Amino acid sequence: MHVALVGAHPFPGEPSRGGVERVVEVLRRKLAERVQVSLIVPNTRRNLLHRDEFGEISYLRRPPGPGFLSYWSWSSRAVHREIARLSPDIVHVQDLAGVAWLWPKCRKSSSPPVVFTVHGVNDKDVLHTAGTDVLRRFTAPARAAVIGAIERGSRKSYDDIIVINDYVLEAMPDITALRHHFIPNPVDEVFFSAPRIPHRPSLTRHLLQVGVISPRKDILASIAIVREMVRGGTNVHLHVVGPVVDERYHRRCLNEIARAKLGSVVTFHGGVPPSYVAEFMDRADALLLVSRQETSPMVVAEAHCRGLPVAVPRAFGLRWMVTEGVNGIFLEAPTPAGDALRLSEFLARGPDRDAIRRTAIARYELDRIINQTINVYRTALGLEPAPSRQAIGA
């Protein structure tokens, strides 16, 4: 079987810059143990054809013009041409359904089946990525409306859809009428296998935030919670791990840290490899994630696989990932001071990190997820009987 993956992936030698890139990296490596895999990466800074031990990667340069217009038009055409060159048995698209917007007009009866994994609610994401840019903020509702229409229309063209979290069906109810399969995101093996650093509680609570530095991750809200913990007498340190993708927002965070006199309390570490993230998780007391929009964030699954509890909003796919008081808490107090108090009290109770890890390892067992994914391919190819409507969402 020859699988053509379509999705985000870092350039050779560069670290991943987000959860979707990490999913594609892990999926590609593990699938390559069982099938032939080619990867198409649209909307990159330059064209590049690269080959490594896992197969071929074709990086396609981003067309000129606004990204929200190009991904479903010029990029869609470019990806389709690359699929025709590769002639795979099946295509698996990650994250943006609209990359296949023009394919129904191009596809022939001999074209391969196409599977889609939903990672983000892109029409909602765009509302939280404008930052302080006046033009982007002004045009965000119109861009969101266009993206929403393109995404809904594109999803109808897929043969099978992989749903990573129940929230996907809540945010995209049209998928309930399509053939879909529940499969969690594959978690990098390092979060299962890397030697654990024994967690030693100290007088300072170490909180960890992992993700790109951008408005959608709402690092300012995390800083506000840490500020209130300091005011309440808790010794705390916030470690922010991830690359800066919005310089202006990063400066806003630094200005707020200086204004609140938290320079010794908040540290930006930049992007680091997954093995380093696992070490940060082992040493931390909790993962803090206060995003304005998420689906099924990889970092929460990764944290749980290291036995790290999380503090997150009671929203999005997080509602199906967190059990209150067991593997984390929901940040739902009306003020940052209330969330700071709840987090301090939760950590004082001493969550059972070993139990968190055992449950997560069972939930995200990697070989099972890869087997389920290959079974979806076989279903799309007609090699396996399609599940009944009742069994699809089981």
Question: Domain residue spans in the chain?
Answer: 2-186+365-392, 190-362
pLDDT of residue 390: 40
pLDDT of residue 392: 46
Residue whose C-alpha is closest to residue 227's, from 257, 250, 269: 257
Rounded (10°) angle between helices 298-305 and 353-363: 120
pLDDT of residue 391: 43
Helix (H, G, I), strand (E, B) or coil at 220: helix
Q: Are 37 and 9 in contact (CB under 8 A)?
A: no
Mark the ranges of the chain whose per-residue pLDDT is less than 70. 105-110, 122-136, 138, 387-394
Eight-class DSSP state of 90 = E
- Domain 190-362 in the same topology as domain 2-186+365-392: yes
H/E element holding 117? strand 114-118
pLDDT of residue 360: 98
Measured CA to CA, the distance from residue 147 to residue 141 in angstroms comes to 10
What is the length of the chain? Answer: 394
Q: Which fold has domain 190-362?
A: Rossmann fold (3.40.50)
Q: Are 124 and 344 in contact (CB under 8 A)?
A: no
pLDDT of residue 93: 97
pLDDT of residue 107: 58
Alpha-carbon distances of 183 from 69, 374, 394, rounded to whole Å: 30, 11, 10
Assigned CATH class of 2-186+365-392? alpha beta
* Global pTM value: 0.89
Alpha helices in the chain (DSSP H): 19-31, 67-70, 74-86, 103-106, 122-125, 134-155, 166-171, 190-193, 219-231, 247-259, 274-283, 298-305, 336-349, 353-363, 366-380, 389-392
HEC profile of 286-343? EEECCCCCCCCCHHHHHHHHCCCCEEECCCHHHHHCCCECCCEEECCCCCHHHHHHHH
Residue pointed to by tokens 């008081």: 325
